[in-house]
A and B are shown apart, each in its own frame.
Chain A
Amino acid sequence: DIVMTQSPDSLAVSLGERATINCKSSQTVLYSSNNKNYLAWYQQKPGQPPKLLISWASTRKSGVPDRFSGSGSGTDFTLTISSLQAEDVAVYYCQQYYSTPYSFGQGTKLEIK
């Protein structure tokens, strides 16, 4: 099974500043046949289900603000929020869909400094 590990567990960033969250998989999630990384990022606010932000490691879902971006390949990935807004306070999760059982990172709690 693929284990997903995020860092840090929590992060406090000033409004307008950059936030960076890391995700590492225990084995590659890059399919060589199509050169795609089977990695998604989600945002979860209290009392709500997770919301899909990014798939294929770097493709934003329609309607997601462009301040959210994803990067990385193979086993190491990053979610970046370029200019933190108050509404971005949430817990962020990475998830691999390379193979079942699907697995999520433990989450990174993002707060305002």
Chain B
Amino acid sequence: QVQLQQSGPGLVKPSQTLSLTCAISGDSVSSNSATWNWIRQSPSRGLEWLGRTYYRSKWYNDYTVSVKSRITINPDTSKNQFSLQLSSVTPEDTAVYYCAREKRVDIFGMDVWGQGTTVTVSS
């Protein structure tokens, strides 16, 4: 079955860049029937979709406006994974970060999630 395994640091200093990776098994980051998403969850913001990457003959990205100037989501086809980079972080970026597959055939929706990474922004 499809699994997503997250990795990355749990503590990031203010003004630095948060970097997380999501390794995919059982599917391909280049799949034409999926998108690959990052979502975060905090008590103040609830579940917040950050953005996605997906391949449809070429690579596309979508980002939410609130972080658009600071976020990059990149696929890595050689390792079958995708990554999140969020620059210039502040304590407001403290949250549990999830990667998730969005299936785009038959049953749509975020059907597979990573285990979550608790990221704290603090000096």
Which residue numbers of A lie inside 8 Å of B, CB to CB? 1, 38, 40, 42, 49-52, 55-56, 59, 61-62, 93, 95, 97, 100-104, 106-107
Contacts and interface: CB of A to CB of B under 8 A. Distances in A.
Interface residues of B, number: 22
A49 B46 contact: no
Interface in B75-110: 98, 100, 102, 107-110
Interface of B: 37, 46-49, 52, 62-65, 98, 100, 102, 107-111, 113-116
Contacts of A101: 49, 62-65
A101 to B, nearest CB: 4
A95 B65 CA distance: 18
Interface of B is mostly: strand
16 contacts: A38-B108, A42-B110, A49-B98, A49-B113, A50-B110, A50-B113, A56-B107, A61-B107, A61-B109, A61-B111, A93-B47, A95-B47, A95-B109, A97-B109, A100-B52, A101-B49
Contacts of B114: 49
Nearest to A101: B64
A25 B65 CA distance: 19
A50 B47 contact: yes
Residue in B47, B62, B102, B113 with the greatest tally of chain A CB atoms within 10 Å: B47
B46 A107 contact: yes
A40 B49 contact: no
B116 A104 contact: no
